[in-house]
Structure 1
């Protein structure tokens, strides 16, 4: 029987260590099956892409994994830093965030009238311990924790090249900068697993190239595992270690970028027929 926290078996052979493990994930909405027995694994240090046509179920998958939806069937596990497997089914989104998984959204969800720095500081909420009384009375511990939150948030803004805008209202940022601010706010939760929902949407080619470099840097400098939904195939193919392909809620292919690019079913369903088909 699965438990909410189980250590890996001592007899498990050394190899890629999973951070996110999804088994037989199914999501029904009434008579509609949006996800059909999906399996997916993201290992430590990997950048994995989840691709598919519009309506394939990619964002529904993210919503199930992060606790916004409760899956109809299947299991979702997150491995912690001690390699313990934690069952996520039935947990609230804020609990899953506190366990080490953060995400961005397809539609930007910033607090537009708050400053850029304040938006990132909000992301630190799950990592702070000051209660209402400490905040009201401004105890020394509360002041130290607040300064630590400011320092960490500013460092995150530097990592996504937004430090110069720290006191600007979030809604005044250009679209691409707002996307980077969402990433910084997600990183403020100190995740092991980061989910990015169409991070290149609305970006021009130069901005997309800079985003690729940023994602790689964040993965390497913060020991992150990353799962992204993305429609920019150039970015997907150059950035990803592995790719999963969905169609109508089911997985139709998976593998390295080279394997997926050459898969006839993927070419037909997603990338378009080849010229000599």
Structure 2
């Protein structure tokens, strides 16, 4: 399989703290990969390095673009990385709470539209056509996450699970090849988690998107993932299929501890 994301020997220091230590991983085309580990293992720091929020201290991050060319992400701004084909959601939901559900998704279209300030002011045929296309695409994305009936609702009025789905729809609006989900099931009840799992599978199947997720719900991770990387104290301690990782003594020790007896 062809890779979409490659990370080589990634390290991140914050003063005297080494939050990531020589971490390497890859995600292939249409693959669902999970990144797991105890709280404080460095998972979200890893996402922040990959998406341009942090500049890694060491190592390299590559994203393969739509033409199959390997693009170095180090030093690029988050919006430039998004334009190359990577999108993410956040552990703490970050919606535009006073905007409508449809408007939130349309914001994600910004990196794929061409109308500038003059076009917006002049409202010529090209600008109007592009705006209508953005509306149509955004509404279709709401249909894909079952939020179409709430298109004109203010985002902060949505139930928690619906807000999670809206954030995913907004990320999909950027037309990513690589989607990063940071604890998408956090705070969800079992029914919402099952629906989310079905949604993620559907996204992969219908859009051929590669997905890397951080998640603490081990039942979801084991049933959804093709491969799993396990982190502890900023380093990768295990990797493999769900079956391989489930029985790895290092993983059991990281999650359950080890008796002194």
Q: TM-score, normalised by structure 2?
A: 0.98
Residue 81 of structure 1 deviates from its aligned partner by: 2.0
Q: The residue matched to 2:93 in structure 1 has which SS?
A: coil
1:24 aligned partner: 9
Residue 82 of structure 1 deviates from its aligned partner by: 1.8
Q: Residues 236-275 of structure 1, C-alpha deviation per residue, up to 9 Å, x if partnerless?
A: 00000000000000000000000000100101112x2699
1:210 aligned partner: 195
1:44 aligned partner: 29
2:90 aligned partner: 105
Displacement over 6 Å in runs of 4+: none
- Aligned counterpart for 1:173 among listed residues 153, 158, 165: 158
Call closer, same or farther: CA 1:233–1:274 in 2, change over 3 Å.
farther
Q: Residues 47-86 of structure 1, C-alpha deviation per residue, up to 9 Å, x if partnerless?
A: 0000000000000000000000000000000001221100
Matched residues, number? 260
Matches within 5 A, 1:182-261: 182-261=167-246
2:143 aligned partner: 158
Q: Distance in 2 between matches of 1:96 and 1:71?
A: 14
Q: Residues 91-113 of structure 1, C-alpha deviation per residue, up to 9 Å, x if partnerless?
A: 00000000000000001000001
Q: Residues 99-143 of structure 1, C-alpha deviation per residue, up to 9 Å, x if partnerless?
A: 000000001000001000000000000000001111111100000
Q: Which runs of 5+ in 2 are unaligned?
A: none
1:70 aligned partner: 55
Q: TM-score, normalised by structure 1?
A: 0.92
Q: Which runs of 5+ in 1 are unaligned?
A: 1-15
1:9 aligned partner: none
Q: The residue matched to 2:92 in structure 1 has which SS?
A: coil
- Aligned counterpart for 2:70 among listed residues 74, 85, 97: 85
Q: The residue matched to 1:253 in structure 2 has which SS?
A: strand
- Aligned counterpart for 1:96 among listed residues 52, 75, 81: 81
- Aligned counterpart for 2:253 among listed residues 252, 255, 268: 268
Q: Distance in 2 between matches of 1:65 and 1:251?
A: 16
Q: Residues 202-258 of structure 1, C-alpha deviation per residue, up to 9 Å, x if partnerless?
A: 111111011001000001101100000000000000000000000000000000000
Q: Distance in 2 between matches of 1:204 and 1:51?
A: 20
- Aligned counterpart for 2:130 among listed residues 121, 139, 145: 145
CA-based RMSD of the aligned residues comes to 1.2
Q: The residue matched to 1:113 in structure 2 has which SS?
A: coil
Indicate yes or no: 2:44 matched with 1:59: yes
